[in-house]
Amino acid sequence: MSKHPDRVEEALEYHRRERRGKIAVCATKPCRTQRDLSLAYTPGVAEPCRLIHKDPECVYEFTNKGNLVAVVSNGTAVLGLGNLGAAAGKPVMEGKGVLFKRFADIDVYDINLDSEDPEEIIQAVRLMAPTFGGINLEDIKAPECFEIESRLQALLPIPVFHDDQHGTAIISGAALLNALEVAGKAIDQVRVVFNGAGAAGLACARFWRELGVPADHITMCDIHGVVFKGRSAGMNPWLEVFARDTSMRTLEEAISGADVFCGLSVGGVVSAEMLQSMAPRPIVFAMANPDPEIGYEEARAARDDVIVATGRSDYPNQVNNVLGFPFLFRGALDVRAREINLPMKLAAARALARLARSEVPASVRQAYGMEDLHFGPEYIIPKPFDDRVLYHVAPAVARAAIESGVSQVQPKDLEAWLAEYRSGLIRRLGPRHELMMRVTRRLGETPVSVLLVDDQPSRVKAAARQLQEEGLVQPLLPVLDDPALQELDVLTDGLAAAAVLCGGDYAARLRGLLRHAEEQGRPFMAQLTLVCAPSRTLLVCAPTAPRCESALAWGEQLGEAAAQVVDFALELGYRPRLSVFCPREQADSECLASPALQHLRERFPDLDARMALGLDEVLDARREEPGCDDVEILAFAGPASAGLAVGLLGRMMEAELAGPLLLGSSLVVNLLPGGACADDLVRQAKLSAMMALQNE
């Protein structure tokens, strides 16, 4: 029973509320008309059936097999709860499906088999395998899990992966590489003690040997004590591999003088005195859940030089399998690998280790409520909600599959293929990542100088570090008492931060631009906010100049403001579709829209443009799934109506917002609202730089 009764009820309510459970099946093609029905089912469905019958590989072209994984369990080792059975294990398998979808956009059917007979499980999975692109075995107890996995992999031409073994091994292996780096120890010199010889413990020990830990430097312990040559209690062929010729018999003896402890057993088996007996700068992976072999606070109190990792999310260095299996399968599925082999696992571990050493985005720090997060004793492994894991790990896995010969995809130019593949993975993360990928491509090899203006020095410094590391934008930090910044405040309406493009000496350039703006009376023509929803990108714009007395003149001004945004979309390679909005209550609304549309059609003869009176009209009329190159532009009569639309769309579509950008002048100003983070400032700086290049 949980120590927190409120969490028990919260968890139960989370699972029982409508729709019950955590996963559902969604149609990916329309089925609204008789024609749709005839294509989705009979007679149209017969066509792909015939082709697949002639060439079985066509199943990847015409079905979801290439993006579908079976999560298979018999419930004999559910979390740390033991043998609960197939039905009681189903919530965990559904949860696994949620993680596959959330982190790698992989679809899942959970398969819960009511059998403890390895032969029955093997035959059941073998018979259903044509449906799936991969098999994830889950919560099946040792030693049966070893036989089930090895035999299924030999039988099937698709990846079979027991995550309880290899997932933990890969993530802990990445953490080990980085912990050794922080501690200043060589992997071929350290002494390692394992406690827990189940599926995960044995897999970790095998994997760490492949990473470079010598076999004779590993001491394995279990419920019977040290695994030594000649021991009879609890032995099996998989455990026998780690039997050592040693006089040690207890965990306490084994851990004395050891460099690394890896626990996959039960809580509380390591005392402070045992930790104090370890070598200098010890590494402790106490991964029993929910109670570690030694608590984080207790370990830190016992040794101030210890590096600690656990399986818990409420302490630093969580060894979490969600950092592994979604991205392993993503890479394996995308090259149609026949298996997930050792080179692919090693590639995943090393990619995770490299990622943890890079600058941590502010969005990740913000998600975890951390002001600072950098590579070191309390950050040796990436956080689960770091979006970068997808496009760092999956390409590494795909490359290893191709180079090791288990991939059915063999590109002629591997580097070009991987670059395009990585771009595709970024698109899977959603429109905001897709947008920024396009912006990044547009930025040239010579960094564009951007002045970062903010009232929060820590945010500016973090953004500047990230921009400097990427090398696409040259960040310039302001002299805070520069009078030009006081003039800039007038333009930014007192918003919390701005990224302002400049060239050369920023102060002289900025003053010159401000003088130019004063001479013209108004520096900007259009205001643009980017609304990045889960399935589409919307660009909401409005003219910023005072409204003209004449509806005709104002309509033309609205058209020119929208044209600025159409240029922006085309520059990024989008196919824009535009709606000009006019309030229903305004008598001159049609007159206002007509000159705007006429102006736009003269500039862009092929533009899909129309007049609209309400958001529902546009969103309902164009509800079909947009392509990755489609972008919707919504043009409003003024900043106030555009702002209301942005707020409404953001809530309705659970969208991320960027901007507003002020366009139409040689000065590009990109505004940030209060509460923005350094990542927002980085994105705004890149957008500003791209707009400046477009102006040139």
Sheet holding 608-612: strands in order across? 473-476, 448-454, 497-501, 669-672, 656-663, 526-532, 537-543, 630-635, 575-581, 608-612
DSSP codes of every residue in 222-241: ETTEE-BTT--TT--HHHHT
* Strand boundaries in 523-677, DSSP class E: 526-532, 537-543, 575-581, 608-612, 630-635, 656-663, 669-672
Q: Taking the C-alpha atoms of 73, 76, 79 and 81 in order, what is their torsion angle to the nearest 10 degrees?
A: 150
Q: Which amino acid is at 84?
A: L
Among candidate residues 301, 255, 297, 263, the one with its CA nearest the CA of residue 279: 255
Could you tell me the two tokens for 641?
């109506």
Q: State how far the Cα of 540 lies from the Cα of 49, in Å rounded to an integer.
A: 44
Q: State how far the Cα of 553 lies from the Cα of 375, in Å rounded to an integer.
A: 57
Q: State how far the Cα of 489 lies from the Cα of 413, in Å rounded to an integer.
A: 51
Please check whether residue 529 is in contact with residue 565, taking contact to mean a CB–CB distance below 8 angstroms.
no
Could you tell me the two tokens for 280?
């200098």
Please check whether residue 390 is in contact with residue 327, taking contact to mean a CB–CB distance below 8 angstroms.
yes
Q: Which amino acid is at 570?
A: L
At residue 203, φ and ψ (nearest 5 deg) are -65, -40
Please check whether residue 336 is in contact with residue 398, taking contact to mean a CB–CB distance below 8 angstroms.
no
Please identify which residue in the block is written with the tokens 């890149």: 686
Positions annotated as catalytic residues are: 41, 96
Among candidate residues 10, 148, 15, 152, the one with its CA nearest the CA of residue 94: 15
Q: Under the phi-then-psi rule, with left for phi > 0, alpha for psi from -120 to 50, and beta for the rest, what region is 66?
A: alpha
Q: Are strands 160-162 and 218-222 parallel, antiparallel or unpaired?
A: unpaired
